[in-house]
Structure 1
Amino acid sequence: MKAWPLLSLVLALPARAELWGFVDATGVAHFAPTQLDRRYTRVLDGVTMQRVPGKTDGGVALLNWLDIAPEVKAVQPWVREAATLYGVDADLLKAIIAVESGYQRNAMSPRGAVGLMQITPETALRYATPADAARLIEPRINIHTGARMLADLMRRFRSIDAALAAWNAGEGAVRRAGNRVPNIEETQAHVQLVLELYWALLQQGQPARAQRLTLHP
């Protein structure tokens, strides 16, 4: 495909939009802004679709970089391993790592978050063993800890956007917002960045996931 129709649909949705979808028995992926029938499950729940301040149209360049960068390829086996083990999408993990650290394995934030997925010490205490928490900077441990956290957040909030918001702003902020993305500019921008890259990665890999993509009004 020449464009990313799924990404275009997501970006065209109004504020507080929903997105529903399923892949049928013939391999066709179907997406719609409402639940057209019982086959559809909610993919996005009320995400705020704002444009990210200062964002440029560098999506194609970023996707190309993710395809060829040695630092990205080096950790993909651990991304796939963690995705399989914890039941989360490898492309979503890939997008989170790109936004959180730019695949810089030694990244450290002023708040003490470390590694590829920017895991805080508090998160490590909750989702990693004591031995792993002491080695959180190591890429495989960092990715597994982040994947375990993401899987837990998605079970709790039952939507990708709310889980990403909880990742950024904390579970309490999402609960106070009614289990939706809170009205926090930094968090909304973070969720939007991850989702834009995630959907682009999904569409790029669509031939391997489904034979065709069908968008329903």
Structure 2
Amino acid sequence: MRIMRTIAALCLTLASSVASADIYGYVDSDGSAHFSTEKLDERYQLFVRGSAPFDSSQLPQPTPDSGKAPLSDTLSRHPNLKKYEPLLNEAAQEFSLDPALLKAVMAAESGFNPGAVSPKGAIGLMQVMPATAERYGLQGDRKKTIEQKLADPKTNIRLAARYLRDLHKLFPFRPELVIASYNAGERAVQKHNNSVPPYPETRGYVQIVKQLYQLYKPAAEKLAVAAFSDAASGARRIHMTLPGRRSMPAPSLE
């Protein structure tokens, strides 16, 4: 019961703290989803506006002859989301987190790609840095390096969930700071007087994760029974474009 009360409280807090930035996106001819906090070119269409609650019925729908799935379907029905959902739910229960938050972070971090590796060395579905994993006791050995261990979806998801749990403890009922810390590091948030750091990447990341949370929260029950056809199992990718990424300093782990 205590775990359920914690999850419920976090859900209400995050749901009441809706993002204020417009989110734009499109699905390309290969079925890959792209989204951003800015309309980068004519392909990007409004995904959700400002502080409006997420409502998939209001999203632009594809034309009958376009052959493209709407962006909301690509995000909510991605085959890897169903594949890794048991691990997400297990980690969410263990660390008293909302599964919708883990899904939102996974979508934003890797687009559900378990082999993703960032230029800074973040690894896997939840883009966990090796240094962060070491803080939680993960070590390389003769059989596998720490990077190889982090590539395992179960290890990756569990470490990310544990980190998010600790961030919730550090910033109780401040979900925007939890999300910002996951992107920029908790030291950066503390350095800026417990507020979202003024880094364009981090601010865009917070807005997108919060809107993705709105997408996954109402869809949570449907995802458990959604049917995934053979066609849906193709190599669809989700691409995050965050304006100002180059101005983002490396997270501090000191």
TM-score by length of structure 2 reads: 0.60
2:203 is the counterpart of 1:192:
no
Residue 106 (1) aligns with residue 115 (2): yes
**1:26-175 → structure 2 map (5 Å cutoff):** 42-43=13-14, 49-51=20-22, 52-54=37-39, 56-58=45-47, 60=56, 61-130=70-139, 133=146, 135-158=149-172, 159-175=174-190
**CA shift for structure 1 position 144:** 0.4
Question: What one-letter code is carried by the residue in structure 2 that aligns with 1:157?
Answer: F
**Contact preservation (8 Å) 2:108, 2:208:** yes
- Compute the RMSD of aligned alpha carbons: 3.1
Shift of 1:73: 1.0
SS in structure 2 of the partner of residue 130 of structure 1: coil
- SS at structure 1 position matched to 2:45: coil
Q: Is the 8 A contact 2:15 2:214 kept in 1?
A: no
Name stretches of at least 5 consecutive residues in structure 1 with no aligned partner: 1-28, 30-40, 208-217
Q: 1:97–1:116: 8 Å Cα contact kept in structure 2?
A: yes
CA 1:45 to 1:128, structure 2 compared with 1: closer, same or farther past 3 Å?
A: farther
Deviations 1:116-142 (A, max 9, x none): 000011111112432694510011110
Match of 2:195 in 1: 180
Distance 1:42 1:123, change over 3 A: same
Question: How many percent of aligned residue pairs carry the same amino acid?
Answer: 36
| Residues 79, 90 of structure 1: 8 Å contact kept | yes
Unaligned runs of 5+ in 2: 1-7, 23-36, 49-55, 57-69, 223-254
* Aligned residues of 1:165 and 1:188 also touching (Cα < 8 A): yes
State the distance in 2 between where 1:179 and 1:46 align.
Answer: 16
Name the CA distance, whole Å, in 2 between partners of 1:44 and 1:155: 18
Q: Residue 205 of structure 1: CA displacement?
A: 4.2
Residue 164 of structure 1 and its aligned partner are, at CA, apart by 0.8
Check whether the contact 1:46–1:181 (CA below 8 A) recurs between aligned residues: no
Amino acid at match of 1:164: I
Count of equivalent residues: 172
Measured against aligned partners, the alpha-carbon deviations of 1:55-76 in whole angstroms (never above 9, x if no partner) come to: 6334653432244322211100
Aligned residue type for 1:190: Y
CA distance in 1, matches of 2:15, 2:171: 11
TM-fit CA distance, 1:146: 0.4
Partner Cα separation in structure 2 for residue 150 and residue 102 of structure 1? 18
